[in-house]
Amino acid sequence: MKLFAGLGNPGAKYAGNRHNIGFMALDSIADAHGFAPWRSKFQGEVSEGRLGSEKIILLKPHTFMNLSGQSVAEALRFYKLDLADLVVFHDELDLAPGKLRLKQGGGHAGHNGLRSIHGHLGPDYARVRLGIGHPGHKDRVAAYVLSDFAKADQDWLDDLMRGIADGAPALAKGDGAAFSNAVGLRMSPPKPKTEKPASHPSAMPDTKAATAEENDTRSPLQKLVDRFK
């Protein structure tokens, strides 16, 4: 069993915020893989289902971002899971929009949701870092993460969510490379192979003329004389 926790803020007011991309990721997994309806538990919402042979608990803390660790720690204790069984999906300012990176352990880099989880459980858990880009100046960060994605972001955001859903079974069994590849295929699908155009008849070599030239046994002088007959 594994616990996938997505970070965000509860309520319709925040639903489309960049800060809520962790919630969006879990919704995509639940919808694509037929998880049970969301229900209130652990100071948040949970949905249960299977990814391949692995049972997965999806958790969206409703404690607001800064207190996410309360909800995650409660769920982890209830299911008697270790930190190795926890994967946290969160927004990442230091990655370009649409980029995704996996990380095991490490610091919280100022992310308040991760900071809270660190405080309750320590740093040794897996993270799925979901790039939202940076507004350019630290003074603009709070307003930026708490604003909705722009319409121009919708295409890559949809592709990213589909990729996460595609790769979720691989992530559940611990195959991070396959998970990342599934996302990559959605974000940058391979270009279809194009057939080489057929050569124009006029561009084809005249094999009859070449053969006749090879069979001509006249001397160069005789060929010259014959040209003026």
- Bridge partners of residue 6, in order along the sequence: 89
| Active-site position among 19, 33, 90, 111 | 19
User: Packing angle between helix 154-172 and helix 176-187, nearest 10 degrees?
Assistant: 160
111 flagged as catalytic: no
Rounded to whole angstroms, the Cα distance separating 160 from 187 reads 6
Which residues does the annotation mark as catalytic?
19
